A = this chain, B = another copy of it.
Amino acid sequence: MAGQKIQRQTGVALWRQIADRIRTSINHGDFDETGMVPPETMLALQFGVNRHTIRSALAALAQEGIVRAVQGRGTLIERKERLSFPISKRTRFSQGIGDQVRETRSVLLATGEEAASVELARQLKIRTGAPLVRLETLGQADHRPVSRATSWFPADRFGDIAEIYRITGSITKAFKELGVPDYVRVVTEITATHADESDLADLQLSPGAIVLVAQALNADLDNVPVQYSISRFAADRVRFTVEN
C-alpha cells in the first residue's frame, strides 16, 4: 500500500493525506483478508510518521464511518464502496448502478424557476432569458448519498416537472408523463475538483475530499435538448465507465 511517500509542507496536513491513502487502500480491497487496518504502530512505520499522526488519520476515517477502532483488538473496516457508474447514450442514475446496490433513491432537495443564462441557453438551444425549471436532487444508493445534481429544463415543455418528480422520484418517469417517452445522453463533460461546503453537507464528505463533476446534456429522440445537468459525485464512492 504505502509505496508512495507522504509529502510535507504542501498545505495538506499529513493526517489528511494518510487518511485519503488508507481510504483508497480499503476501497481497493487491500485489507480484505483480515477486515482490519494494520496496527497503528505498523502504519506509523510504513508512512514514516508518528503514531499520533496515524491516529488523527484513523479518527477522520472513523468520523466518516469507514473504520471503527476497538481497544485491544484493532481498527475494523466498517464500510467500503466504489460504485461503477456507466456513461452511455442511455445514462440514467438508478438503472446503471441498480445491480450494485439493494436500493437506489433520488430525493428532491430544492426547485425553482430561473431565466436561461447565456451558457444554459447555448447548451439547451433556446434563447437567452427563456424560462427554465431548476431541480436540485440528491442521488442515494442504499441510503448513502452518492451524487448531488442541479438540472435545468425548458419551462415551456416541462413546467410541471418538479411536481411530478417529487411524486415519482424519477426523471425518466416525469419525462414520460410530459410526453417524452425516451431520451438520450448527447454529451458528458467530466472534471474533478475539491469538495465545496455544500458537497460536504449533502454528500456527507470529509473536508478536502474530491468530487467528480459531470456536466451532461440530454435530448429527446428528435435530438431536441430536454435537460442540462451538473452532477457532483463523491470521488471515492464512484467510478465512471464509458462504454463505446
Verify B240–A190 contact, CB threshold 8 A.
yes
Q: Which residues on B sit within 8 Å (CB–CB) of A193?
A: 20, 24, 210, 235
**A60 / chain B contacts, CB cutoff of 8 Å:** 11
B residues within 8 A CB of A191?
82, 212, 235, 239-240
A16 surroundings in chain B (CB, below 8 A): 10-12
Segment touching B, from A66-74, A125-133, A173-181, A194-202:
A194-202
- A12-B12, A12-B16, A210-B210 given; A239·B5 CB < 8 A: no
In the complex, how many angstroms separate the beta carbon of A69 from the nearest chain B beta carbon? Answer: 19
Stoichiometry (number of copies): 2
Interface string of A4-22 (1 = CB under 8 A from B): 1101001111011101100
Considering the complex, give the chain B residue whose CB is closest to the CB of A185: B244
Check if B197 sits within 8 Å of A5, measured CB to CB.
yes
Bound state CA distance, A62 and B223, in angstroms?
A: 45
Size class of the contact patch on chain A: 35 or more
Q: How far is the CA of A186 from the CA of B102 in the complex (A)?
A: 28
A29 vs chain B, min Cβ distance (A): 11
| Residues of A51-81 whose CB lies within 8 A of B | 60
Chain B residue numbers with a CB within 8 Å of A82 are 191
10 CB < 8 A contacts A-B: A7-B200, A10-B16, A11-B207, A12-B16, A12-B207, A82-B191, A187-B243, A190-B190, A192-B192, A242-B242
